[in-house]
Structure 1
Amino acid sequence: MFKRLALLWTLFKGDARQLWSALRHPASPGWLKMGTALIALYLFSPIDLIPDFIPFIGVVDDIVLVPLAIRWLLKRLPPEVAAASAARRSA
């Protein structure tokens, strides 16, 4: 189980780095910035699909939805931005 969590954390960290790199790219689209802002707003908002005060389950929605939303944004990047951010991610 811990190996799976470590793998998920590594994937999330890599996706977060790639998203950050894509945001800093000069050709990054406006929708990427808006989508990232909405993800951050959801993450820090007191309004959740499942309230955080419910033990374990309240945090799971954040743990699942935020990485999925980041991956969804990354898959829709323009090819030149995706290539540049992926290159920075691996560096």
Structure 2
Amino acid sequence: MAEKTNLLNRILNSVIFRNARSKAGHTAKNPAVILQLLAQVFQKLNTSPNGVVSQVQEKVGLLGRLLRSYARGDYREIPWKSLVLTIAVLIYFVSPIDVIPDLLPIIGLTDDVALILWLFKAISEDLERFRQWEKKQAVPLETEE
């Protein structure tokens, strides 16, 4: 547990994550840039070793759907702070240069996974609201006959 906390503190206090947070505010205001970021995220998921990234693949998929819905203007119920934090984590995720460089096979993704898991705890209520909204969108409307 102490090792996870230590790694997470190193990530959150790193220059790389601070830069990602700085970029995230600007990215959040530009739907096209959000969609470009998502393309990079899913490309990284598809080219990463399955073992490490598979732990967070479903979680990243949820984040991707959330950001895509936000960028398209369909869902705007996420607080600005949570939106910017989510984007910052994904900017960090796609960066090959981070606390543990992604060029190191398997171990290089450890910091990315730790940060995504932390994000899920940090914005869990916002993600649950999005899931509920998403479920409502999937319900077909009854048609009058």
Specify if TM > 0.5: yes
The separation in 2 between residues aligned to 1:12 and 1:22, in whole angstroms, is 15
**Equivalent residue, structure 1, for 2:48:** none
Larger Rg: 2
**Equivalent residue, structure 1, for 2:88:** 38
1:12-43 CA-to-partner distances (Å, cap 9, x unmatched) read 35533553377442322111220122012211
The separation in 2 between residues aligned to 1:55 and 1:78, in whole angstroms, is 30
Alignment of 1:18-37 (within 5 A): 19-20=66-67, 23=70, 24-37=74-87
Q: Which runs of 5+ in 2 are unaligned?
A: 1-50, 139-145
Would the aligned equivalents of 1:16 and 1:70 in 2 still touch at CA under 8 Å? no
The separation in 2 between residues aligned to 1:50 and 1:77, in whole angstroms, is 28
Q: Percent identity?
A: 24
* RMSD (CA atoms): 3.6
SS at match of 2:105: coil
More relative contact order, 1 or 2 (CA 8 Å, 6+ apart): 1
Return the TM-score normalized by structure 1.
0.56
SS at match of 2:83: helix
**Equivalent residue, structure 1, for 2:117:** 68
Matched, 1:15 2:53: no
